[in-house]
Amino acid sequence: MAGEWLALFRDPNAQWILFGCMLLGLGSGVIGSFAYLRKQSLMGDALAHAALPGVCIAFMLSGSKSILLFLIGAAAAGVVATFGIGFITRHTRIKQDAALAIVLSVFFGIGIVLLTRIQHSGAGNQSGLDKFLFGQAASMVRSDVILMAVISAVLIAVCALLFKEFKLLSFDPGFARGLGYPVAFLEQLIMLLIVIAVVVGIQAVGVVLMAALLITPAVSARYWTEKLGVMVVLSGVIGALSGLVGTYVSASGNNLPTGPLTVLASTVLFVVSVVFAPRRGLLSKVLLRAAARNELRREKEFLLAERRERREEAV
Amino acid sequence: MSTFWIILTGALVASACGIVGCFLVLRRMALVGDAISHSVLPGIVIAFLISGSRDSLAMMLGAAAIGLVTVFLIQWFHQSGVQSDASIGVVFTALFAVGVVLVSLYTRHIDLDLDCVLYGEIAYVPWNTIELAGIDIGPKAVWGVGIALALILALLFLFYKQFKICSFDPAMAAAVGIPVALFHYLLMGLVSVTTVASFESVGAILVVGMLVVPPATAYLLTEKLGRMIAYSVAIGCASSVLGYGLASLLDASIAGCMIAVAGGLFLVALLFSPSHGVIFRKLRQKRMIRHRTAS
């Protein structure tokens, strides 16, 4: 059994995919914790859907299935989508959740129109587009994985360099503006990083599940700590671990898709956090409540005993 | 004839979603529709595996049950301290992942198409008819969505006031003795029934779009709930008719075109709405500044 395990890791292609998925989980976990604190968790979901028209337009214009062009198209569509969401929430009374849902569905609708146009016009084999959208890490070739790893590494590096600025921005943007930080620029930068993480992740885990890689590790990490630094690291580790487990189970023979397995792995970690985390977890809450009840009972008994004693003395 | 059935299905979906969606937009829960439409996948697959058929009723029950579970889990995580949007994200992605894994484990060679669940294919609606006593009584989808719409209308007719107070001021609703939690789950139940009834035939994306885009457009045009619902239904129906036209013009996905048209109408309202549109507001601001400086 152990031999088979190791054999899997010795296959160079599997190694690359494993490495790529871990880096992806790490990167999206790190940027996801900032998104979570800024109450923009579902931005990832909206941007992942919004990437579809970008990818289609890139394909229509170039006619080739180059991953790099797809990434550029998706990123451009993502940036347009963030501007759209920002415009709607700033200029009307529509709230952020509705703005997200509008941009998500309209962009995805337009994307489907373009996709069906491509399919009906029969411009070559478009199956690459499907793969790109629904994600299949096992079908990635080495150059894709290298691209993914490099981008994830850059993402993590930017977060590490601008940690102090992002921290202030997540907790108190007003104060950050008062100190003279370029708040609008930094906000747009965080958005851009989310767009990049989403775009890179789509081909590994698919449109719908990319959101989970941004949200679930961050929420799980939040259960364990009150410190941003610890949370970001923990979230990255949880993301990387889910990438590892997901890719491993997917590669170990039964040919299940990588994306859902990665998401399930991170969900399991989330459930573990919900139950076992210190202070915020269910178990510790139950224990705390039981302890408080015991304390109360002891106090009550003590008071009763005291009163009885006093009454006996009076008699 | 098939054109008629497709447009009718689109209009029914748009009306059902348009009504329920108004309450979602007002209660800032627009993304719950998105969550439910994705998370019902495992319910459908499990119902399919248990019943062994693509019988709509079993699937619909399974999906509606999972829809309520989704809502319950979202609420529960939110109450235990997770931000509401994050709890939506965690719950629906986890359930969707379970669904995808189940599909690839058990139903690989059976006709349960993932792409079809996601984008749906409204063009196939007219061919999937049901027969009653040997007579063809029209497409299954029309009946499914029609029944959902009738249910929504009946409940709305009975409890309009309660739904209204609950969406604008839940604290006051609780104070005057309306069971807020009950109406919350009733509304969510309606969302999940609507989603489930619609998306098998028209796809998740059309449902999500119709739940949010027409109500948000109507929200920009009026201040009254009754009118907002009426506008939202009208806008939804208009986008389904125009969307069908656009689709046959472009030879592209019908559901996608319907959403694209709805998005176009939203953009028009965003820019030109007399009360909340960007352009008129800018003009009003300018006039006010001129007025101030003149006086």
Q: Is A189 on the interface with B (CB under 8 A)?
A: no
pLDDT by residue (tens digit) across B180-196? 888 888 888 888 888 87
Residue A19, domain member (yes or no): yes
Which residue of B104, B199, B212 to mutate against A (max A Cβ within 10 Å)?
Answer: B212
* Buried b or exposed e, range A107-128, using 16+ CB within 10 angstroms: bbbbbbbbbbbbeeeeeeebeb
**CATH number of the domain bearing residue A81:** 1.10.3470.10
Quote the CA–CA distance of A157 and A146 in Å, as a whole number: 16
From chain B, the residues in CB contact with A260 under 8 A are: 96-98, 100-101, 104
Domain assignment of residue A309, yes or no:
no
Beta strands per DSSP E along B175-289: none
A286 is a domain residue: no
Residue A137, token pair as written in the block: 């890490």
**A118 assigned to some structural domain:** yes
The confidence score (pLDDT) of residue A241 equals: 92
Q: Which of A219, A264, A282 sits opposite B90 (nearest CB)?
A: A219
**In A, which residues are within 8 Å of B87 by CB distance?**
219
Highest mean pLDDT among A7-11, B118-122, B245-249: B245-249
Class of domain B2-210: mainly alpha
Residue A145 to chain B, least CA–CA distance (Å): 23
Instruction: Tell me the per-residue pLDDT of A76-116, one tens digit each, with 9 for 90 and over.
Output: 999 999 999 989 988 888 888 899 999 999 998 898 888 88
- Cβ-based contacts of B216 with chain A (< 8 Å): 94, 98, 102
Number of folded domains that form chain A: 1
Top-confidence residue, A66 or A264: A264
Per-residue pLDDT at A1: 42
Range of the domain at A193: 2-280
Spatial distance between the Cα atoms of A44 and A196, rounded to a whole number of angstroms: 10
Question: Is A141 part of any domain?
Answer: yes
How many other CB atoms are there within 10 angstroms of residue A279's CB atom?
Answer: 11
A307 located within any domain: no
* Banded pLDDT at A254 (limits 50, 70, 90): low
- Provide, as residue numbers in chain A, all residues whose Cβ is less than 8 Å from the Cβ of B250: 113, 117
> Which of A9-13, A111-115, A233-237, B274-278 is least confident?
A9-13
Distances, alpha carbon B167 to alpha carbons A275, B162, B225, B294, in Å: 33, 9, 10, 43
Closest approach of A313 to chain B, Cα-based (Å) = 50
B82 contact residues in A (CB cutoff 8 A): 219, 222
The percentage of chain A sitting over the pLDDT mark of 90, rounded to a whole number, equals: 23
Say what the pLDDT of residue A134 is: 61
Query: Measuring CA to CA, how many Å separate B28 from each of A77, B8, B38?
Result: 25, 29, 19
Q: Point out the least confidently predicted range of A156-165, A275-284, B56-65.
A: B56-65
Q: In whole angstroms, give the CA distance from residue A104 to residue A50.
A: 6
Domain assignments of chain B as residue spans, ordered by start: 2-210
Residue A300 lies in a domain: no
- Return mean pLDDT, chain B: 83
Residue B209: closest CA among A101, A93, A209: A101
> pLDDT over 90 for what percent of chain B?
22
